[in-house]
C-alpha cells in the first residue's frame, strides 16, 4: 500500500532515476523507447509526481487557501464559487480552512503559511501573521477591522448596504427599529451606517449587544432580549442572514407574525435567505462577484504583478422578499 516513488518507476522501467525525471519534465533528450518504458511504468504503478517536488523546483504549489471564520455562515459558499470560476481555469485549486472548527492544538494560519500555498484569500478579520514579511500574496475579501493599505482588497460597500436596509424599513413607515450587530469589521461598518441613517431620520435606534459569532442562536437570543425590552419595536435589521434566521425563530416563539407584527431584514443574500421557508428580505452583498474579483487580483499577484495595491468596492443591492411590510397601524 506504500506510495510508489520515482525509484520504483526507474526500477520498473529499467532506466535511471534521472531519465525518469527527464521524461517527467518533458525533455526532448529521451528516446521514444525509453519514454514509452517510463510512461508504461508510471501507469502500471499508479505513480504520481510529487507536487512537493515540483513545488520546490518551480516555487509553485498551485494551491490557494481560503481562510474563513465559520463554515456555518454560508456567505463564503458564494465567495468560493466566484474564486473557483476565476482561479480554476488558471489551474489553481482551492482549500478552505476554517478557524472556528480548528482545534486549539493547531494554528490554521500558521498551517496555511507553512504549506506555502501560492496565495491566500482572507474572508475574516485578518490575522496579523498574514500581514508580516514572508507571507504569500494575499487578497482580503470583505470589509475588515484592520486597515491594510498595502494589501489588495475587495468588499461590498457595507455602509451603503446598511443604508439600503434601513431606508427600506423607513420607506415602509417603520419608526421603532432595532438593530442586532455582530463584531468584526463588516458588521461594525453596517452598524455605524445604520445608526447614522436612523439618527438622520430623527430615530434613536435600539442596538443590541454585538454577537461575537454572528450565529443563529445569537440572533435568536438577542432578538428575544430586545423584543422583550422593546415590545413596541416593529422592525429588526440583523447583522447577517444567519442572525436574521434566529430573529425569525424568536418571533415565532413570541407568536409575533412576520411581517405582520415584525419586519426582519438580513444581510448577505445567502442561499438560506432564498429558501422558501425563510424568504428573507436582505442585502445582496454580491459575494460571488467579490470572489471573482478577489480571484482576479490574486491571480495577478501570483503571476508577479507589482502594481499598486487595489481596493475594490462593489455596490450591494436590496432584495425584497417576504419578511418586510408596513408596520401594523
Judged by CB under 8 A, the chain residues 76 through 95 that form the site for a second copy are 76-77, 80-81, 84-85, 87-89, 91-95
Out of 189, 236, 248, 283, point to the residue binding a second copy (CB under 8 A): 248
Among 6, 11, 24, 55, binds a second copy (CB under 8 A): 55
User: What residues numbered 250-309 form the site for a second copy, per CB under 8 A?
Assistant: 250, 252-253, 271, 275-279, 306
Nearest to 13 by CA among 33, 323, 183, 195: 33
Size of the site for a second copy (CB under 8 A): 73
Distance CA 218, CA 214 (A): 6
Give the nearer residue to a second copy in terms of CB position, either 92 or 267.
Answer: 92
What binding mask, one character per residue, do residues 209-238 give for a second copy by CB under 8 A, x or -?
A: -------x---x------------------
Q: Closest CB to a second copy among 179 and 292? A: 292
Strand order in the sheet with 206-207: 206-207, 177-180, 235-238, 263-265
Q: What is the DSSP letter of 89?
A: G
Q: Which of 14, 27, 36, 111 binds a second copy (CB under 8 A)?
A: 111
Burial string for 11-33 (b: 16+ CB within 10 Å, else e) reads: ebbebeeebbbbbbeeeeebeee
Q: How far is the CB of 97 from a second copy (least distance, A)?
A: 6
Question: Nearest distance from residue 262's CB to a second copy, in Å?
Answer: 13
- In the numeric block, which cell numbers belong to residue 79? 465567495
Burial of 34 (0-12, 13-18, 19+ CB in 10 A): middle
Measure Cα distances from 168 to 175, 281, 299, 321 in Å.
11, 10, 38, 12
CB of 31 to a second copy, least distance (A): 26
16-45 binders of a second copy (CB under 8 A): 45
Rounded to whole angstroms, how far apart are CA atoms 109 and 117? 11
Q: Closest CB to a second copy among 164 and 208?
A: 208
Nearer to a second copy by Cβ, of 54 and 183: the residue is: 54
In the complex with a second copy, which residue's Cβ is closer, 18 or 306? Answer: 306
* Helix, strand, coil distribution of the chain in percent, nearest 5: 45, 15, 40
- Contact between 53 and a second copy by CB under 8 A: the answer reads yes
| Whole-angstrom distance, CA of residue 190 vs CA of residue 172 | 20
The three state secondary structure string of 102-147 is CCCCCCHHHHHHHCCCCEEEEECCCCHHHHCCCCCCEEEECCCCCC
Query: Looking at 19-27, 62-70, 201-209, 232-240, which segment touches a second copy (CB under 8 A)?
Result: 62-70
Q: Pick the binder of a second copy from 102, 148, 203, 318 (CB under 8 A).
A: 102
Q: Name the residue nearer to a second copy (CB basis): 26 or 134.
A: 134
Candidates 21, 39, 49, 148: give the one binding a second copy (CB under 8 A).
49
Piece of the chain touching a second copy by CB under 8 A; list 23-31, 32-40, 129-137, 164-172 = 129-137
The footprint of a second copy on residues 153-182 (CB under 8 A) is: none
Contact status: 6 vs a second copy (CB under 8 A): no
Alpha carbons 234 and 175: distance in angstroms, whole number: 8
Omega before 188 within 30 of 0, i.e. cis: no
Nearer to a second copy, 157 or 289 (CB): 289
Nearer to a second copy (CB atom), residue 65 or residue 159:
65
DSSP code per residue over 236-271: EEESSHHHHHHHHHHHHHHT--TTTT-EEE-SS--H
Amino acid at each position: 500500500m506504500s506510495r510508489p516513488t520515482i525509484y520504483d518507476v526507474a526500477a520498473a522501467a529499467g532506466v535511471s532515476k534521472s531519465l525518469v525525471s527527464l521524461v517527467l519534465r518533458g525533455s526532448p533528450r529521451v528516446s521514444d523507447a525509453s519514454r514509452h518504458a517510463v510512461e508504461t511504468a508510471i501507469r502500471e504503478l499508479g505513480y504520481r509526481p510529487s507536487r512537493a517536488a515540483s513545488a520546490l523546483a518551480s516555487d509553485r504549489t498551485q494551491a490557494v487557501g481560503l481562510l474563513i471564520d465559520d463554515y456555518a455562515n454560508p456567505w463564503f459558499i458564494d465567495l468560493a464559487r466566484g474564486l473557483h470560476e476565476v482561479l480554476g481555469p488558471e489551474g489553481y485549486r482551492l482549500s478552505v480552512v476554517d478557524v472556528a472548527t480548528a482545534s486549539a492544538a493547531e494554528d490554521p494560519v500558521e498551517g496555511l503559511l507553512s504549506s506555502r500555498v501560492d496565495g491566500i484569500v482572507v474572508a475574516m478579520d485578518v490575522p496579523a501573521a498574514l500581514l508580516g514579511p514572508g507571507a504569500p500574496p494575499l487578497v482580503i475579501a470583505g470589509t475588515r477591522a484592520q486597515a491594510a493599505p498595502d494589501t489588495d482588497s475587495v468588499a461590498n460597500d457595507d455602509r451603503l448596504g446598511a443604508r439600503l436596509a434601513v431606508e427600506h424599513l423607513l420607506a415602509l413607515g417603520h419608526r421603532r427599529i432595532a438593530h442586532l450587530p455582530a463584531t468584526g469589521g463588516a458588521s461594525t461598518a453596517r452598524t455605524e451606517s445604520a445608526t447614522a441613517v436612523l439618527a438622520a431620520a430623527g430615530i434613536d435606534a435600539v442596538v443590541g449587544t454585538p454577537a461575537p459569532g454572528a450565529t443563529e442562536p445569537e440572533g435568536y437570543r438577542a432578538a428575544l432580549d430586545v423584543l422583550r425590552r422593546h415590545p413596541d419595536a416593529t422592525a429588526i435589521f440583523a447583522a447577517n442572514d444567519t442572525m436574521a434566521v434566529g430573529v425569525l425563530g424568536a418571533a415565532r416563539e413570541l407568536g409575533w407574525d412576520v411581517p405582520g407584527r415584525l419586519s426582519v431584514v438580513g444581510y448577505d443574500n445567502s442561499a438560506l435567505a432564498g429558501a422558501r421557508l425563510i424568504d428573507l428580505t436582505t442585502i445582496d452583498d454580491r459575494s460571488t462577484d467579490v470572489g471573482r474579483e478577489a480571484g482576479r487580483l490574486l491571480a495577478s499577484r501570483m503571476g508577479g504583478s507589482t502594481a499598486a495595491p487595489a481596493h475594490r468596492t462593489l455596490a450591494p443591492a436590496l432584495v425584497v422578499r417576504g419578511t418586510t411590510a408596513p408596520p401594523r397601524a
